[in-house]
């Protein structure tokens, strides 16, 4: 099994006629993802490599039964694109767009919660269930079917760690890049619960970074509610306080959000924390072999 997406997921690409949307729509389709439609206002009736294009998400869903959307719409319009997908009845929205204003996401999130729409992102690489479905901009060739779940605030670290897992014959159930923005969709606790409930996921890798307290909250959740082994890695351990490093959310302020605090929280929860990514496969294998 997997979480969130599988071979039956039907994907609509919002912004499919843009440069990035067109490129990645074809990449997703080539991977085997069931890309059933694209959306670009005013271009209904056209198609991209056999993918039909509609004026709205509502039209696309009615015609194809799409239940997931991926957004390649420019930042000023991304929030409205997310809302359009939600109001059309799309169950899972993956917002790749970076630079979405925080105030826009603050406006969007209550609507999504009320409507029961699940969101990954914004400013994320997407997610993949290897061999079944890939939604986003992930390099599909490095993933391998297996029993390890992975979630990460960093896209590039996702790729590095997945490649290490695959090289060590540790395939994955589902891998999710949750993005590094201060206001975002599904985060560690929700995803940990999904992995906990997935019978095929035997262990989980959590990749965090400095800034905020999401990792500390995840550590408490793991201690109280997880029965499956979790291994963590925290990026930004040498970042100076007050300096933004990479993501908008990756900043240490007022003495909080430091790598030391996060590592301590995981240690108290019994979660091994790798000092560097290359240690992750070995730490997880030892836990899985117990």
Q: Tens digit of pLDDT per residue, the chain (290 long)?
A: 799 999 999 999 999 999 999 999 999 999 999 999 999 999 999 999 999 999 999 999 999 999 999 999 999 999 999 999 999 999 999 999 999 999 999 999 999 999 999 999 999 999 999 999 999 999 999 999 999 999 999 889 999 999 999 999 999 999 999 998 989 999 999 999 999 999 999 999 999 988 888 999 999 999 999 999 999 999 877 666 655 555 545 454 444 578 899 999 999 999 999 999 999 999 999 999 98
Distances (CA, A) of 44 to 38, 39, 56: 9, 8, 9
Tokens of 116: 């029961």
Strands 172-177 vs 126-129: parallel, antiparallel or unpaired:
antiparallel
Q: Span 139-288: which CATH code? A: 3.40.50.261
Q: Residues 107, 113, 115, CA angle at the centre, nearest 5°?
A: 105
How crowded is residue 26: how many other Cβ atoms within 10 Å of its Cβ? 17
Q: In the beta sheet, which residues pair with residue 253?
A: 256
Q: In the beta sheet, which residues pair with residue 127?
A: 135, 176
Tokens of 35: 């890309």
> Under the phi-then-psi rule, with left for phi > 0, alpha for psi from -120 to 50, and beta for the rest, what region is 270?
left
Name the CATH code of domain 10-120 (choices 3.30.110.40, 3.40.50.300, 3.40.50.720, 3.30.70.20). 3.40.50.720
Model confidence over 243-284: pLDDT tens digits?
555 554 545 444 457 889 999 999 999 999 999 999 999 999
- Is the preceding omega at residue 122 within 30 degrees of 0, hence cis? yes
User: Domain limits of the chain?
Assistant: 10-120, 139-288
For residue 203, the SS3 value is: strand
> Under the phi-then-psi rule, with left for phi > 0, alpha for psi from -120 to 50, and beta for the rest, what region is 267?
alpha
Q: Residues 162, 165, 171, CA angle at the centre, nearest 5°?
A: 90
- How distant is the alpha carbon of residue 278 from its chain centre? 21
pTM: 0.94
Strands 172-177 vs 203-209: parallel, antiparallel or unpaired:
unpaired
Comparing 10-120 with 139-288, is the CATH topology the same? yes
Determine the Cα–Cα distance for residues 51 and 69; give it in Å rounded to an integer.
14
Q: Active-site positions?
A: 247
- How distant is the alpha carbon of residue 147 from its chain centre? 18
């Amino acid at each position: 099994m997997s979480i969130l997406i599988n071979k039956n997921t039907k994907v609509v690409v919002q912004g499919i006629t843009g440069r990035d949307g067109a490129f990645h729509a074809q990449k997703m389709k080539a991977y085997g993802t069931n890309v059933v439609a694209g959306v670009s206002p005013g271009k209904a009736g056209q198609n991209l490599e056999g993918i039909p294009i509609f004026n709205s998400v509502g039209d696309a869903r009615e015609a194809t039964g799409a239940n997931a959307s991926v957004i390649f719409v420019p930042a000023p319009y991304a929030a409205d694109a997310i809302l359009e997908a939600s109001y059309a009845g799309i169950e899972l929205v993956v917002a790749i767009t970076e630079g979405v204003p925080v105030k826009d996401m603050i406006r969007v999130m209550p609507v999504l919660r009320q409507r029961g729409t699940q969101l990954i992102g914004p400013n994320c690489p997407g997610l993949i269930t290897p061999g079944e479905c890939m939604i986003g901009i992930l390099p599909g060739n490095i993933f391998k079917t297996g029993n390890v779940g992975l979630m990460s605030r960093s896209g590039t670290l996702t790729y590095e760690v997945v490649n290490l897992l695959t090289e060590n014959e540790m395939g994955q159930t589902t891998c999710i890049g949750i993005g590094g923005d201060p206001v975002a969709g599904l985060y560690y606790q929700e995803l940990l619960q999904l992995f906990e409930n997935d019978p095929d996921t035997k262990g989980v890798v959590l990749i965090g970074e400095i800034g905020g307290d999401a990792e500390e909250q995840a550590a408490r959740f793991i201690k109280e509610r997880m029965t499956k082994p979790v291994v963590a890695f925290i990026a930004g351990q040498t970042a100076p306080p007050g300096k933004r490093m990479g993501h908008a959310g990756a900043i240490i302020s007022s003495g909080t959000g430091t790598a030391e605090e996060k590592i301590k929280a995981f240690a108290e929860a019994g979660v091994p924390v790798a000092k560097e990514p290359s240690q992750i496969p070995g730490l997880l294998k030892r836990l899985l072999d117990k």
